[in-house]
Chain A
């Protein structure tokens, strides 16, 4: 394998693994802000205990997220040196801004949030939870600025063999920043809602601190139904329209539109094959894609046949990942919506099948995030910066295939270890559940001594 392919593999592996954790951090952090608000303002001990419990899960998740995130900050330089030299004038700034405005904020206040209970007033403790959530959100913003600039570069000119900044704000708010930020941020909120709902459902099923878990479940479901709906409309819709407008090759690839046509159909199900690109067993609604993309049933949508073969992304992975992401998005609305109705009718706690479904649905928003990310980034190929720099020109020249193979092996092994430990401890925390209410605690300090 070539250093290029290996470096791509390593990047996919390291960012794919890292990207499991930040969405959970963001979603859970905002839910904890709500929980801590309720605990603090109403002086409600149940919410305080819910806060303590989910803070432990947040801490576990954050630790693995931070550890794997360090790699990302350096990997552009190590494996993509030619890219780094070419885009450094633009691409480094959002990474640095993320450090200054986000990483310091979330990690400093996470320390205060986790260890400061009792050392600071309830108000400051609540504020520290808020700063963790704000920091995580700002972090998502700047990294999406960087990533979106690669999708729809703006505010620059190519001069002297590199991309030079001409307008900072144009580069920051390039055409895809806003749609991608909303879509990804909301996906993170969904991930948090499903983690809280799944863990609570488990506790209710096992009748462990069930009364407490019902409160967190009710919160997660109410929150979850709102963010799941928002994800498809308006955020998914806005993002889709933006891709249709700014990256027609990618739009054609993810939608499976292989020939240019008026009144293009939305494909619900199909099996894509190449060459030539064909959809087998397609289930589709004519005209809907033209309408969704351009607001007109008769609009012409460009198909793959309109582009040169060396300009189009791989068709199979983009189509499959995008369609499965959409499927999951619809599933989130259905299960959250159904649970919300059951909750309003007071029947949710008895519906054990639904609760079980929530337990097993916990990883699905993360799967959807990964699929969406694959559709977005593979859909950008063969470009590393859309229509400006090819991925094949971006890889480090001085790093050999053997060196990259070694680092893949190194990170592969570490990530298998971290992944298994994360799942193991997540389940352990979940089974442990929140601490019992104070009145039910046998002897103060007995627990501490045993640890």
Chain B
């Protein structure tokens, strides 16, 4: 395996890590819009309170790794998706500060305002991530020099909006399963009902998205069925997604959470496998696509970065697990809570 492929995998791992971790707290954020009662809303926020910040770092590190390993993709996609990205940053900012600000003034309208900021910020983020991902999958207008030639409204095509809706539904379900782990009684029953209601929606949207991909970006299927990794991912996806309602029904919430994390990972894995070795297919002409070879940094940089990742990430994963274990169990509201 060459260094470029290794970095394709590592960026993929960071995106999957981000989707799993920030996925549940974006999901809890969207569910927050539908949560009634001050106590439950505080439970929502405190369920993700100690960890959301660390989760968002996966996005920052993913951005940094993309910049370092595939600078042409970083530059082309981020400048090309300018307005969408600015809206995303806006949503992420509002969402981030709502944790800190919400509980600081004892007024109902104040808290309601920040509930909206938190909920809508989460919803817009989840939607935009999906839309951006959808656009990458179907290919973006990139010319022979690797320059983006599209516009903002072009990003809002039906296919990408469909992927956006899929990611919203998936994150809500993922967040609801997380709440199952962190709550008790009525609140947990409510979260379980959300999972059960959303499960068919997620499955339906995924099937629809697969069919749409066949028509919208058929090149993604080329050569994929012959790849054994494809079948491994398919088995993982089917196994995990079928397991979710079973685990939630039988009260095995942690297993349910692992299943829904696996679902997210295998969905992204399948998309990445179809893209490989392209990173950004060109809609103008597939030959203009940005690939892991024509958009990458030099081997020297990729090697230095690999050392950084191999030294740093095991430590990160170790203390992340350590801190999650400390905060495991049901949410309790105390004086220090949000």
Contacts and interface: CB of A to CB of B under 8 A. Distances in A.
Interface of A: 59-60, 63-64, 66-71, 73-74, 76-79, 81-82, 84-85, 87-93, 95-101, 103-105, 107-112, 114-117, 119-120, 164-166, 168, 396-399, 403, 406-407, 410-411, 414, 418, 421, 425, 428, 447-448, 451
B310 to A, nearest CB: 10
Contacts of A98: 64
B320 A104 contact: yes
Most buried by B among A89, A120, A421: A89
Contacts of B100: 59-60, 63-64
B148 interface: yes
A292 to B, nearest CB: 37
Given A84-B74, A96-B305, A398-B147, A66 B56 contact: yes
A398 B142 CA distance: 11
Contacts of A93: 68, 301, 304-305, 308
Contacts of B323: 108-109, 111-112
A120 B103 CA distance: 25
Contacts of B86: 78, 403, 406-407, 410-411
A92 B78 CA distance: 14
Given A73-B64, A108-B320, A92 B297 contact: yes
Given A92-B68, A99-B61, A397 B50 contact: no
Contacts of A77: 63, 67, 74-75, 77-79
Given A66-B56, A77-B78, A425-B104, A96 B308 contact: yes
Contacts of B79: 77-79, 81, 396-399
B319 A108 contact: yes
A119 B336 CA distance: 12
Majority secondary structure of chain A interface residues (helix, strand, loop or mixed):
helix
Given A88-B67, A111-B51, A406 B83 contact: yes
B89 A70 contact: yes
A10 to B, nearest CB: 10
A451 B335 contact: yes
Contacts of A84: 67, 71, 74-75, 78
A95 B301 CA distance: 13
Most buried by A among B51, B67, B76, B320: B67
A117 B64 CA distance: 32
Contacts of A95: 63-64, 67-68
B74 A92 contact: yes
B56 to A, nearest CB: 7
B304 A165 contact: yes
A397 B80 CA distance: 10
Contacts of B74: 76-77, 84, 88, 92
Nearest to A402: B83
B186 to A, nearest CB: 21
